[in-house]
Chains A and B, each alone.
Chain A
Amino acid sequence: MAVHPERFDHQGPQTHSSDAAAAASPAPGLTLTHVACCVCGAEDCVPVGIGEDFEYRTSLDTFIAMRCRECGLIYLDPRPTPTELPRIYPPNYHAFDFSAERFGFVYRVRRSLEARRVLQWCRGLRDDARILDVGCGDGFHLRLLRDFGRPGWTLEGVDASDRAVDAARRAGLTVHHGTIEQLGLTAASYDLVLLIATIEHVDDPAGVLRAVRRLLKPGGRVVIVTDNTATLDFAMFGGRHWGGYHFPRHFNLFSRTTLTRLGGVAELDVESVETVMSPVNWVYSVRNTLVDWHAPSWIVERFSLRSPVALAVFTLVDTAHQIAGSGALLRAVLRRPMTGSATNGATNEATSRAARGAATDTPDMSAAAASRRSSAPQSAASAARTLFAHITHFATALRHG
């Protein structure tokens, strides 16, 4: 209080300062930093969720998910500084080793589902296309492309974690260690960039997308898959336990609106933003609730990436939401605009064909697209087809398992 001391004097007793007590114990928390909204730049936000690292317990901190009052983005503020990344991504982090050995049946189901999805995005690519997976983790999607894609494709990954890079390289993949902004990869050389469950982890999504834009050939596309905040699971669990928060590792969480706006910020054309069925956030929302309530571990373990029953149940639940146009994940297809110095016509045609394919061909996407186009309830026949497609995936995976 900066007024005359004689006029304004809090008279306390002569005591020790509490500095001694504070200095005696080293800070058990992460070093945190404050940020503004990465989409609109505003720093006008309100808390919507408050939680902890329920999954890995990497620190004792409590975290706040803020909602930007300007654009609606959900973001972590304050958030760990870059120096804390090794701490918040522990050695047992699942993306570093999503292997058949560790995840068994679930691995096979996911592999089957994801192979189908990933190939949809690649439809129309030339035989010599270059594909970059940013935030590739242990290379799960790159392996799918290698195993099921065309032999002429050049596949590369980028990841900032040395553990993830090691795992991917052990699988024989080409992976660059670092961040896409710093690596200095060749500009305008990629036909397709994948950002699968990556954009929510990065500190500066607009910066990453601008870097992606630079790497893409004119007309080349980027496919972003990320958690969707405009969902029932967010509405139900968003106060604390929502799986998509993944405290403190998901820095920015999007809706259709904010992801579209982010594309604009990075000067990418938005071809489509659709929702995709996923049981994962549901399963982890329930799990986080159980962990927080100190439920016995045998119950908690029924809800994880290794529990086929929970995943199957919530696949059905989220399929219903997907049919209603609010699946748990978002998938955006953005395109680097054509410029005067465009590449040859064949590439352009191929990419635009691929874009059309990606926007209309997958069953989950066609449902969302249909409901968006007409704003009318989807026909029962179409809904049944979508549900059937997902059940078939499970059945197939079970058989092959």
Chain B
Amino acid sequence: MAEPRNAKPPVIVVGAGLAGLTAAAFLRRRGIPVRVCEAGPQIAGLAATHVDAQGFSYDFGAHFITNRLAAAIGVSAECLPISHYGEMVRLGGRTYGYPFGLMRSPRFMLSGLGARAGQWASGSPRSAADVFRSRYGAALADQVAIPLLEAWSGALATDLAPAVANVLNHSIGHTVLLKIHSRLRQRAVAIGYCHELPETRYVWHVYPVGGVSLLCKRLAAELESCVDLETPVERILVDQGRVVGVRANGRELPAAAVVSTAPVHILARMVTGTDALRPLEHFRYRPMVFANLRFTGRGHLPDTMMWTPDGGAPFFRLTETPLSMPWLAPPGHTLITADLGCDVGDATWTASDEELGERCLQHLDWIPNIRRRYLGCRVVRSPVAYPIFLNEYEKDRQAFALSTGVEGLYSVGRNGEFAHWLMEDVYWRALNAMRQLIRDRVALAA
């Protein structure tokens, strides 16, 4: 941090994950001095990749990126295309294709059609449960959508804001077209993996050979010496409604602006000199444990991802990533990632890797010979995996989505925005936020 005393203060970016590095690289390209403060010993945050000694590779949950994101960051040549990606739902001992397989079941079909027909009559929804029931009908909502939502968020669907349901934004016709194209092209056309830009038949899944952390490595390479590791930002200093600097590692540093990627409840506690962010202190994230179970053989799941809304299992989703990305496990082996919602410090959070593996295995006994093929489990934990859209702070969340309320303070990334953005969204939205930062600076200078 050896800035000359009279130099213009830099924009300080808090966090060297995908959002922080994207924002910093964009500003640097525009000639704006920038410093990235990363608390941890390495970059990549939630976009980090772990490769174990046996050659199994896994991320914080299963990640899928698009050729468009890879091309934008400039890593497309180091990515391999994915020829197939599919989702299933396991319900009552039976497996259904998602989303259309479910519709073959008469009760789901009738409930769905009934809901569509009556949609005009339903009033404005008060919760995520209302939205799902009016959109899919009671049968599909109560047996599939709501149990999944509740397992994922750890909250009752009646306590969650209707905005949770906004993530599904495709018409049925568009989805069918993309699926047909996917089949014809032998490319996993991305469906539901980006909200910020249109999903077209030319946007499909790819994956970096060395893991998804390659995205951050490429961005960091562009930033050269601007990234400070093990530099936790303790305070963001605000004076008269405007960011003036940060305190990091006990030192105060002036800042032209601050771009935070920290979870918002932590951001709220970091900011001093204003009460504008006080409401964010109550915002909650869902901690998540990702149990990576290793097996011999491959193709234990009928498709890459399987939703498990039936109560009883500790997980709500299983992903056999090597079905889409064969290089994530050694030949003849596979990896199933189980997503377990939890709270920090509870029995799931504190369980050992082998305990968790055993707990998951008990609910996979419908897969033939699964126990004989089991090779052990590696666990990755995140205390802030997903934002929870509780109704109790929905108004504050909507206000925060428009602005942080502090001049010169920007909050980007999935945790920074407190929103259910996917990786590609994080990238394009971070760029947009930085364009806004530049516009604001120009306006301020004028």
- Using CB atoms and an 8 Å cutoff, list the residues of chain A in contact with chain B: 1-5, 7-13, 15-22, 25, 27-30, 32, 34, 36, 43-44, 46-47, 50-51, 59-64, 78, 239-240, 293
Instruction: Report the minimum CB–CB distance from A379 to chain B (whole Å).
Output: 40
Instruction: Provide the residues of chain B in CB contact with A36, threshold 8 Å.
Output: 30
Min C-beta distance of A397 to chain B, whole Å:
37
Inter-subunit contact B262/A25 (CB<8 Å): no
Bound Cα distance from A85 to B29, whole angstroms: 22
Partner of A16, one of B48, B52, B233: B52
Contact A18 B37 (CB under 8 A): no
Q: CB distance B77 to A47 under 8 Å?
A: no
Name 8 extra pairs, CB < 8 A, besides A11-B381, A60-B77.
Answer: A1-B39, A3-B266, A8-B384, A13-B380, A28-B78, A29-B76, A62-B67, A62-B206
Q: A22-B214, A50-B203 are in contact. Are A8 and B266 (CB under 8 A)?
A: yes
Provide the bound-state CA to CA distance between A30 and B71, in Å.
11
Question: Given A2, A13, A19, A25, which contacts B52 in the complex, CB threshold below 8 Å?
Answer: A13
Q: In the complex the two chains form, is B262's CB within 8 Å of A2's CB? A: yes
B379: chain A residues at CB < 8 Å are 13
Instruction: Flag if B233 contacts A64 (CB, 8 Å).
Output: no
Q: Which of A5, A12, A17 contacts B39 (CB 8 A)?
A: A5
Compute how far the CA of A64 lies from the CA of B69 in the bound complex, rounded to whole angstroms. 10
Residue of B36, B68, B383 touching A50 (CB-CB under 8 A): B68
Q: How far is the CA of A9 from the CA of B40 in the complex (A)?
A: 8
A50 touching B262 by the CB < 8 A rule?
A: no
Kindly state whether residue B298 has any CB partner on chain A within 8 Å. no
Contact among A34, A43, A61, A293 with B77 in the assembled complex (CB-CB below 8 Å): A61
- Of B38, B210, B384, which one neighbours A22 at CB under 8 angstroms? B210
Q: Which of B104-143 contact A (CB under 8 A)?
A: none
Given contacts A2-B38, A46-B197, contact A17 B75 (CB under 8 A): no
Interface membership of B330, Cβ < 8 A: no
Task: Give the residues in chain B near A239, CB-CB below 8 Å.
Answer: 200-202
Query: Which of A11, A16, A18, A61 is B71 in contact with, Cβ under 8 Å?
Result: A61
Q: How far is it, in angstroms, between the C-alpha of A82 and the C-alpha of B109 when the chains are bound?
A: 58
- Knowing A8-B266, A10-B381, say if A61 contacts B52 (CB, 8 Å): no
Q: How many angstroms between the C-alpha atoms of A64 and B378 in the bound complex? A: 37
Q: Taking CB as reference atom, which chain B residue is nearest A45? A: B431
- The answer to whether B77 touches A21 (Cβ under 8 A) is no
CB distance from B189 to the nearest CB of A (A): 12
Set of chain A residues within 8 Å of B95, measured between Cβ atoms: none
Closest Cβ–Cβ distance, residue A10 to chain B (whole Å): 5
Contact pick for A7, options B51, B214, B266, CB 8 Å? B266
Kindly list chain B residues whose C-beta atoms are within 8 Å of the C-beta of A19. 210
With A28-B77, A64-B71 known as contacts, the answer to whether A18 contacts B39 (CB < 8 A) is no
List, in ascending order, chain A residues with CB within 8 A of B42's CB: 17
Using A10-B381, A20-B51, A61-B71 as known contacts, say yes or no to A3 and B197 having CB atoms under 8 A apart.
no
B435 touches A50 (CB 8 A): no
Mask: chain B, 188-232; 1 = CB below 8 Å from A; 0 = not: 000000000100111100100111011001000000000000011
Q: Which of B45-88 contact A (CB under 8 A)?
A: 45-46, 48-53, 57, 60, 67-68, 70-72, 74-78
Question: How far, in angstroms, from A8 to B285 measured CA to CA in the complex?
Answer: 12
Give Cα A27–Cα B200 distance, bound, in whole angstroms. Answer: 28
Residues of B within 8 A of A28 (CB): 77-78
Question: Bound complex: CA of A3 vs CA of B263, how far in Å?
Answer: 9
Known A-B contacts A20-B51, A61-B77, A78-B72; the reply to A2 vs B202 at CB < 8 A is no
User: Is B153 located at the chain interface by the 8 A CB criterion?
Assistant: no
CB of A4 within 8 A of CB of B232, answer yes
Q: Can you identify 12 A-B contacts, CB atoms within 8 angstroms?
A: A1-B16, A1-B17, A1-B262, A2-B16, A3-B39, A8-B262, A8-B266, A10-B45, A15-B53, A15-B378, A29-B78, A62-B71
Bound: A334/B38 CA distance, A? 52
In contact, A59 and B77 (Cβ under 8 angstroms): yes
CB neighbours of A12 from chain B (8 A): 48, 50, 380-381
Contacting A at CB under 8 A, from B167-203, are: 185, 197, 200-203
CB-CB < 8 A to B26: which residues of A?
Answer: 43
Q: Which single residue of chain B is at the shortest CB-CB distance from A11?
A: B381
Whole-angstrom distance between the alpha carbons of A16 and B210 in the complex?
12
Chain A residues with CB under 8 A of B383: 8-10
Given contacts A4-B232, A5-B40, A78-B74, contact A15 B435 (CB under 8 A): no
Q: In the bound complex, how far is the Cα of B209 from the Cα of A239, in angstroms?
A: 26
* Cβ contact within 8 Å between A3 and B57: no
Q: Assess the A17–B70 pair: CB atoms within 8 A.
A: no
Tally chain B residues at the interface, Cβ within 8 Å.
Answer: 66
Q: A18-B213, A22-B217 are in contact. Are A5 and B232 (CB under 8 A)?
A: yes
Chain A residues lying within 8 Å of B217, measured Cβ to Cβ, are 22
| B432 nearest in chain A by CB position | A44
Residue among A12, A64, A293 facing the most chain B CB atoms (10 A cut-off): A12
- The 8 closest A-B CB pairs, nearest first, are A29-B77, A62-B76, A22-B210, A60-B77, A62-B71, A21-B210, A32-B74, A2-B37
For A24, the closest partner residue in chain B by CB is B210
CA distance A18 to B327 in the complex (A): 13
Q: Residue on A with the closest CB to B384? A: A8
Interface membership of B318, Cβ < 8 A:
no
Are A18 and B211 in touch, CB under 8 angstroms? yes
Is the beta-carbon distance between A3 and B74 smaller than 8 angstroms? no
Nearest opposing residue in chain B for A22, CB measure: B210
Quick check: A62 and B51 within 8 Å, CB to CB? Answer: no
Q: How far is the CA of A15 from the CA of B210 in the complex (A)?
A: 14
Contact B40 A18 (CB under 8 A): no
B319: CB under 8 A from chain A? no
Contacts A3-B266, A13-B353, A63-B71 hold; do A27 and B77 have CB atoms under 8 A apart?
Answer: yes
Q: Which residues of chain A come closer than 8 Å to B70, judged between CB atoms? A: 62
Question: Does chain A have a CB within 8 A of B234?
Answer: yes
Residues in A neighbouring B211, C-beta threshold 8 A = 18, 21-22
- For A52, give the chain B residue with the smallest CB separation: B76
CB-CB nearest in chain A for B74: A32
B274 contacts A by Cβ under 8 Å: no
| B380 & A2 in contact (Cβ 8 Å cutoff) | no
- The CB with the most chain B CB atoms within 10 A, among A3, A15, A51, is that of A3
- Measured in the bound complex, the distance between the Cα atoms of B356 and A13 in whole Å is 14
Contact status of A15 and B52, CB under 8 A, knowing A1-B261, A5-B40:
yes
Q: Give chain B nearest CB distance to A146 CB in angstroms.
A: 43
Cα distance A32–B37 in the bound complex, in angstroms: 26
Residue of B nearest to A43 (CB): B30
- A25 contact from B40, B68, B209, Cβ within 8 A: B209
Question: How far apart are the CA atoms of A7 and B40 in the complex, in Å?
Answer: 11
Residue of A nearest to B76 (CB): A62
A contact residues around B17 at 8 Å (CB): 1
Q: Do residues A2 and B248 form an inter-chain contact, with CB atoms below 8 A?
A: yes
- Among A5, A9, A10, A15, contact of B60 (Cβ-Cβ < 8 Å): A10
Q: Are B74 and A18 in contact (CB under 8 A)?
A: no
Q: How far is the CA of A373 from the CA of B262 in the complex (A)?
A: 58
Who on chain A is nearest to B80 by CB? A60
Q: Which of B15, B53, B380 contacts A1 (CB 8 A)?
A: B15
Given A2-B262, A8-B263, A15-B76 contact (CB < 8 Å): no
Tell me how far the C-beta of B331 lies from the nearest C-beta in chain A, rounded to whole angstroms: 15
| Complex partner residue of B68 from A7, A10, A47, A293, CB under 8 angstroms | A47
Is B348 interfacial (CB 8 A cutoff)? no
Partner of A34, one of B29, B36, B380, B415: B29
